[in-house]
Amino acid sequence: MRILQTIMLFLFCNSVFAKYPDGNMILKQIDENMYAKSMISTSQMLIHSRRGSRTMTLKSWTEGNTKSFSEYLAPPKDAGTKMLKLDDKLWIYNPAADRTIQISGHMLRQSMMGSDISYEDMMEENEISKIYSAETVNEVVYKERNCWVLELTANTDATAYHTRKVLIDKEKMLPLKEERYGKSGKLLKTTEILEVMKVGNRWYPKRMIFKDVLKQGEGTEFVIDEIQLDVEIHESRFSKAALRK
């Protein structure tokens, strides 16, 4: 009888712990789906602030986790503004002042071009599995999509958000909705994928909305118009000299 009880307890524990897949494995699957060695994209950023809405167009080049270059194409007053990320450093070129400045320290927490996205968000590691540990805590249906519910905890104090709660589309392996929290447990930002697209053999966000809950307004939409993954980018693109060209 005691042996039978032990076996039953073992089977029960296994069924409980095996109910949900490993959260860290799901994170790796998301990275495999969304991460590319290089990327060129043209997108729009629609900023819905309390004073009204405005649209900005930008083109971006990205290589791995350490190199990124963006140029704003519209509206006219912002056209020519450029940003360069190399490792943990970020520079911005302002064409009106013909000046390049480095964004660092507390300045990284500032809003990027008045949006709900901070410079700190831009600097974050692209592969989320490298900076967070995850636990699968539930499964839900969200907007007719079957989702895993993941709770993420940062592996380092260097990240902007200590914990995250994410709804992962089981089939497309995309983070459909996310809440980002500070160390105090206070909700700081939410993100949601509103529309997806197929790029090659992978699913990718087409339209997203970012909301800084500490700011007024309806958030910032980010819409990708064109995207190329795993393409050749000339090394000169990721140089400080390219900011002034």
pLDDT tens per residue across all 245 residues of the chain: 565 555 454 444 444 445 889 999 999 999 999 888 999 999 999 999 888 899 999 999 999 888 999 999 999 999 999 999 999 899 999 999 999 999 998 899 899 999 999 999 988 877 899 999 999 999 999 999 999 999 999 998 888 899 999 999 999 999 999 999 999 999 999 999 999 999 988 999 999 999 999 998 999 999 999 999 999 999 999 999 999 88
Q: What is the pTM of this model?
A: 0.86
Contacts of 115 (CB under 8 A, 6+ apart): 45, 47, 210, 220
Distance CA 66, CA 59 (A): 17
DSSP state of 32: H
Whether the CB-CB separation of 161 and 181 falls below 8 Å is answered with: yes
Range list of β-strands (E), the chain: 38-49, 52-63, 67-74, 82-86, 89-94, 99-103, 132-142, 145-154, 163-169, 175-181, 187-199, 202-212, 219-229
Q: Which CATH number fits domain 21-243: 2.60.120.330, 3.40.190.10, 2.50.20.10, 3.40.50.150?
A: 2.50.20.10
DSSP state of 159: S
Q: Where are the alpha helices (DSSP H) in the chain?
A: 2-17, 23-34, 119-123, 240-243
Considering only CA atoms, which of 60, 65, 70 is closest in space to residue 37? Answer: 65
